[in-house]
Structure 1
Amino acid sequence: MAIFGKLAYSAGVSPGALLLVRFTLAAVLLVILLLARPSLRRVKPDPRAAAAGRTPASRGRVLAIALGLGAVGYASQASLYFAALQRMDASLLSLILYTYPILVTIAAVLLGRDRLTPARGVALAAASGGTLLVLLGAGAVSFDPLGALLGFGSALVYTTYILISDTIVHRLSPVLLSTLVMAGAAGTLAIRAALAGGVDLSFGPAGWFWLACTAIVSTVAAMLAFFAGLERTGPSTAAILSTFEPVVTTALAALILSESLTTLQLTGGALVLASAAVLQIRRNHTRPGRKAPVEQASTGMPANPAERVGAHSAE
């Protein structure tokens, strides 16, 4: 996203136009995908509510939450991030933004959604330390207090966004959830653009090309993968694995923008990669709030064949 954003800015695209076109184009592409695959539009039953003896949220409530995630959460997070990006160095802003894996992990543990296992604690420390080394190796020097405040606000909003997403990600397909989030964000940004007198869309073909890359690669593909992963791993692991983003961005910047990688950055990237390996040591654990299947003493497998299939699917 950072690289496509830089290339779009160099082609004459404004931050307002980038946000509006990015989310609108992503929403249109996802709607087309939903029309082609009607089965993806189904709202699934809530196994968590059944296991906890709670009344599951209605279809309308689940859809409203998904729209709100985009209209309030994602639109606010992106707006705060790009407002901060105009005031401070991108590397330092990323360092502030990537406090969110720590915030998500702490909040998820306090809410009883995840356990702070030794492996997860080591992975969080490695990922956070590695991200710090990668970004400090970029040599960020500019500091703006308001920009820093906006950046931390973006991290707080994204933390809340992930935690709320975790409550409904098991009810909707990644395509339907992403579509609603993108539609909500596009609606909010369209209203804001209208109130501000519109956005300038008079840039040339190069600007539209980079916007298309931003929408397809950094938005549609990224969000589908994130929601699919969030459903399988939980909020803490998903947030920790998201620290790959600044490492990948730095590596691509070295390849595409001819920026060199320092020893400090290479060390940080190795730490982030190590965090993923640590997380894979003990993948097969039961998240709080889910009933563990009854196991047969002789085989160690769930007694119910349907549960056995579900266990293999989760793995």
Structure 2
Amino acid sequence: MNPQMPRSSKIEPSRFVVAVPESAILRDALDHARAMVKSAGHEVVSPRLPPEEWGDLTTRIDILVLTPRGRFPVALMKKAGRLRSIVFPTIGVDPLDVKTATLAGIAVGHGAPAESVYSMAEATVMLIASLMHRVAEKQTVLMNGSWREPLVLGRMLRGKTVGLVGFGRIGRAVAELLAPWQVRILVADPAVTDADLDATAVPLTNLLRESDVVSLHMTLTGASRSLIGRDELALMKPGAVIVNTSRGALIDEDALADALQAGRLGGAAVDVFAIEPLPAESRLRHCANAILTPHNAGHTVELMRALTESLIDNLHDLLAGNPPRHLYNQEVAANWQGRFGSAAPKLHTTVDR
């Protein structure tokens, strides 16, 4: 336990205080969460002020639901002596300092259903195929009043080399979905030395030089920020395409715009950006060979339904005195169980799920 974070040895509340934020995109999941927690007799708060202005609420919260656009600074984690868990409805937990949360004995839950993986993987493959076949440029020709522009020819994906930078759950799902296309798959991932799914692990520089398609599937860390900069883009084959459905700050966007506008790269599909919403002055908006989506390429009806179910499952477990079912920081489990296990207020014998 970090000595800077004094926390009581055993916390047994008479009832939980659960903070649930507002979010337009995740409204359905969050509404269900509020209803479920209230039906179990617990207190729900939905603070509208920044966390720094919560006052003594910070010291009262037992469970905090956090969205990808939310935040809970380290300084507040140190003050939140009752906080047992921070739960994300989504698979990503980027706004949170997970290392500090783990040191503080806080269980981090997230939404990790199969739909989170395969919705994004399907969208990635769709974007890859769209780039190879120059769908956006062909649509532009049509919308401009022309027909069958002979110079706008696509390329088949079959038989090409696809480089996956990052080989976690989504990267592996992309490789799985690409198998029928008969592509050669290269993988660059510091955690992978012997890639499966008929993929070959190589250094990033080799992957960039050899791939017709580069697709990014890395989390954002200090080491991965600006992973693909001007020098890395220069290593790519002339006419190659790049897809980023992972984290915006992985790519130097100005360098990418230069490569696209110079015609050195065949195209790019970008669903995530260093600054969101994408600024009006972004040069990527003026790249004819770019497909840009507003960080929702993988959003599906099935995904939103599954995220709601995952959030309810996580909260249900926490209200019953157990760690969240979809636990992100597994290393906290033993410490958490000793401090919070079964320390659940007995307000209701069942919880409406």
State the TM-score, normalizing by the size of structure 2. 0.22
| Structure (1 or 2) with the larger CA radius of gyration | 2
State the TM-score, normalizing by the size of structure 1. 0.24
Question: Which structure ranks higher in relative contact order (CA pairs < 8 Å, sequence separation ≥ 6)?
Answer: 1
Structure 1 or 2: more strand by fraction: 2
Structure 1 or 2: more helix by fraction: 1
